[in-house]
Amino acid sequence: MKKIFYSFVLSSIGLATLSSHSAYAGNRPGALTLTAGGGYVYLDSKREMNNKGFGMLELGYNLTEHWGVEGFLAGFKTRFKRSVNDTRHVSGTVFNFDGVYHFSPFKIVEPYILAGVGITGLNPNRNDANNEGNINAAIGAQIFVANSVALRLEARDAYTWVGGKNDVYVNGGVSVLFDLC
């Protein structure tokens, strides 16, 4: 699964580079951004759970050319590590609300940083979720293949202050911008 994901990401970057002559980078004020994609979560060793792939959606709004807000929703299913002697499946859900700063674009690439707060929910028994608050930060870039379509790559670190767990998310997706104003 990792090989397929990395192949997809590299192919997408190559395609974006080849088609760059007609692409214009840049987030626009008043634009709504919808991103669909997936990635891989590296769970903290204190969780004693297997790392796993996930699907995700992001919804953002650009307040200015540089500043915006964004919601991140991801879901995954994993298991405890063999050493724990627990065979239950664990459902995971992550929701983050972030402030985003978009740097000035360089040709078709627009880097960004973001930070915010969120909730990590892990449900090992399908009845009661263990919800933990987190603070998170990320770096990433959007590679515009058209005026309103971009490939998005991101690395996110989420720190849960309950138990001091540090989870890392590496994800990619396709972003579509919709002008609202």
pLDDT of residue 10: 57
Tokens linked to 170: 């590496």
What string of DSSP letters covers 130-179?
EEEEEEEEEEEEEEEEETTEEEEEEEEEEEETTTTEEEEEEEEEEEEEEE
- Ranges in the chain, pLDDT < 70: 1-25, 126-127, 181
pLDDT number for residue 176? 96
pLDDT score recorded for residue 7:
57
pLDDT of residue 127: 67
Look up residue 164 and give its amino acid.
Answer: G
Q: Which domain holds residue 166?
A: 2-179
Query: Could you report the per-residue pLDDT of 40-60, keeping only the tens digit for each?
Result: 999 989 988 988 999 999 999
- pLDDT for 21: 43
- Counting the structural domains of the chain, the total is 1
Sequence-distant (≥ 6) Cβ neighbours of residue 32 within 8 angstroms: 59, 60, 61, 62, 177, 178, 180
Residue 27: the pLDDT is 86
User: CATH number, domain at 86?
Assistant: 2.40.160.20
pLDDT score of 86: 78
What pLDDT digit, counting tens, does each position of 161-178 carry? Answer: 888 899 999 999 999 999
Q: Which DSSP helix (H) or strand (E) runs through 2? A: helix 2-18
Closest by alpha carbon to 172, among 142, 146, 136? Answer: 142
Q: What is the largest CA-CA distance in the chain?
A: 55
How is 3-49 classified by DSSP, letter by letter? HHHHHHHHHHHHHHHHTGGG------TTEEEEEEEEEEEE--GGG-B
